[in-house]
Amino acid sequence: MTRELFWLTLTVILTGVLWIPYMINRCQTRGLAGAMANPSRNDKAQADWANRLMFAHDNAVENLIVFAPLVLILNAIDYSSTWTVLACAVYFWSRVAHLIVYTLGLPVFRTLAFVIGFLAQAVLALAIFRAF
């Protein structure tokens, strides 16, 4: 496994488990049956942090759609460099930071974490073009 694939794996795992805390909150708020029911406008509201974490999870999924193919393309063309490994690590940690500051409700830091992740993706995209 390349180091880029290692960071992709961690990012996929992180994205895959983000739903658990806000679903626990939903079960606490609405009960197990209420959490499994179809959504309704009459549902009891979840905690603010749980709603923000749900939005952070949505954002993580949306950005994984960009990050994963970039890493997989690099792997398919057998291109790796110090910069691509660093970009993948930075992307992962920016996603961790993004989910923490989003959940805590810190808007400026949330945006900074997002932009850092975007720049890491840009490094990967540029590396693909450099390889050709």
Report CA-CA distances (Å) from 45 to 52, 91, 92: 12, 32, 30
CB 74 within 8 A of CB 116: no
pLDDT at 122: 98
pLDDT digits (tens, 9 = 90+) for 79-131: 999 999 999 999 999 999 999 999 999 999 999 999 999 999 999 999 999 98
The domains located in the chain, with CATH, are 3-131 (1.20.120.550)
pLDDT at 132: 81
d(CA 7, CA 89): 6
Nearest to 4 by CA among 62, 91, 63, 94: 91
CB 54 within 8 A of CB 76: no
pLDDT digits (tens, 9 = 90+) for 26-66: 999 999 999 999 988 989 999 999 999 999 999 999 999 99
pLDDT at 125: 98
